[in-house]
Structure 1
Amino acid sequence: MTVKLGIVMDPLESIKPRKDSTLAMMYAAQERGWRVFEIQQQGLFVNNNEVLARHREVRVSLDETAWFTTLNTTSTPLADFDLVLLRKDPPFDMEYVYTTYLLELAEKKGLLVLNRPSSVRDCNEKLYALQFPDCCPPHAVSRDPQILRDFYEEHQDVIFKPLDGMGGASIFRVGPGDKNLGVIIETLTGHGQRQAMVQRFIPEIEDGDTRILLIN
């Protein structure tokens, strides 16, 4: 029996096919003979305690100029899928939280959802790493501008980043004597209203990094 794979993700039109790992997963599933369905965040809804989705079945390719073709579009219960992958990119806002609630409702009724919605909700991409301090550079997290400034004064060459971003968005490297320090801290913290992270810069990052995706 053919496996039906649903993927909650950003619109296929908006991705960068050369480096999008979700597209690679879709292609790998398709090569195994699975049927692949794109589900956008706004397509999830509940009717009488049943979670449904408006989705489109697609055929994907590795052609960077035409990486998908829509086969059909319809709405069905999420329970019709064999499994659903949660691959929506940040920002992790309240709409993202609501998405995890809807998927969790479907999960409790027997649907296999990967990663678990509760885990995605609880494990912030930036803060979860702090549970493994031996793997982290010196760092600080605060909404207090003075605490962030003090860390910068100690280390001089640092990286500032938001807690809810991805893909390098709003990440700033600040070196010795940088005159933009104040405005960077103001922007990231919203004048002290949002938590932000600062880390000591690691020169080795210029050699690139390696990311491992585990699918079990």
Structure 2
Amino acid sequence: MINKIVAIQGNHPSKLNPKTDTSVFLANEIQKKNYRIFYYDPKNLSIINSKVIAEGFFIKFNYSNKKFYKILKKQKLNLIRCKYVLIRQDPPFNLEYISSTFILETLKNKVKIINDPTAIRNISEKLYSAKYQRFMPNTIFTQNIMEIKNFFKKNKHVILKPIHSFSGNDIHLLNKFKLKFIQRLIKKHNYIMCQKYLPKISKGDKRVFLIDGRICGAISRVPKKGSYLSNMSKGATAKKTQLTKFEKNISKLIAKDLKGDQIFFAGIDFIDQKLNGDINVTSPTGLKTLFDISKVNLAKTFWKCLKA
């Protein structure tokens, strides 16, 4: 019999904000079904004698306590003992992230891993959107300076995003081509995504939650005054929202594609009815925020779809 254990590969709980964190929200929900939570950092993942071993700790989450978690027992765990493993660490999608997917891949035929480690390795969160460019603002993916210069001539106001960054980090709005600045950005990040700026971001974007190939909910995130970043970690405010027919159709298409590519849980974003090109599959967020503003509990949906 498989133990009722959920392992979470993530950043240390002391670095998490329980008011907004999706990993804590998912863990808190499955605890109600008498699952035990084992937590470990990806750097503490190993293959020993052909076994996938994680060094971490069993943990209990409790929203009503000032310290929202209690470490129960530190130990090494053979992950074959788990029913589920959640890959929940923050990007960047770097070599450590990639290496952890190779290690977990050896286990995935015996333990359910969300999202599938092969799938998240194959899907670049920004480059995956290239096949949906007809639904996006003008966008190019490049590290070619002349291509970027030409893009500025056509679009004037441009958002620059590193391909492998996350949470609104290293995103810049430029109103003119700045050669030295862009060269430094490329030197640091290699490929970048250049996208025509959409002024209506000031009214908020829409984050759509996709679970098991279906649209399950959405929130709007309004940047703080003077900002163009809609990430909650950058001070945005969440509001209830409804999807337009157009947004629903695009979301259904992407949800179907992602399920076909073995992605169970994802988040996609719209600005002014245009897909912004971030297909969040490595560690999607926002479920706790949705619950707080609407009482819709997608953690229940998540585990129900997994038949936990």
TM normalised by structure 1 equals 0.89
Give the SS at the match of 1:17. coil
Give the SS at the match of 1:210. strand
Query: What is the rounded CA distance, in whole Å, between the counterparts of 2:122 and 2:154 in structure 1?
Result: 31
- Aligned residue number for residue 267 of structure 2: none
Percent of paired sites with the same residue? 23
Gaps of 5+ in 1: none
Q: Which runs of 4+ in 1 moved over 4 A?
A: none
Give the SS at the match of 2:205. coil
- Aligned residue number for residue 131 of structure 1: 131
Offset at residue 213 of structure 1 (A): 4.5
Q: Deviations over 1:73-108 (max 9, x none)?
A: 111211010010111211111111110000001114
Query: What is the rounded CA distance, in whole Å, between the counterparts of 1:168 and 1:19 in structure 2?
Result: 16
Gaps of 5+ in 2: 212-301
CA contact (8 A) 1:17 1:64 kept: no
1:143 aligns with 2:143: yes
Residue 81 of structure 1 aligns with an amino acid whose one-letter code is C
CA contact (8 A) 1:38 1:58 kept: yes
Counting only pairs closer than 5 Å after superposition, residues 1-216 of structure 1 correspond to structure 2 as 3-62=4-63, 66-108=67-109, 110-175=110-175, 177=176, 181-190=178-187, 194-211=190-207, 212-214=209-211, 215=302, 216=305
Larger relative contact order (CA 8 Å, sep ≥ 6): 2
Aligned residue pairs: how many?
211
Residues 174/97 of structure 1: CA separation in 2 closer, same or farther (3 Å cut): same
TM normalised by structure 2 equals 0.64
Give the SS at the match of 1:106. coil
Query: What is the rounded CA distance, in whole Å, between the counterparts of 1:196 and 1:151 in structure 2?
Result: 13
Offset at residue 66 of structure 1 (A): 2.0
CA contact (8 A) 2:3 2:82 kept: no
CA contact (8 A) 2:3 2:81 kept: no
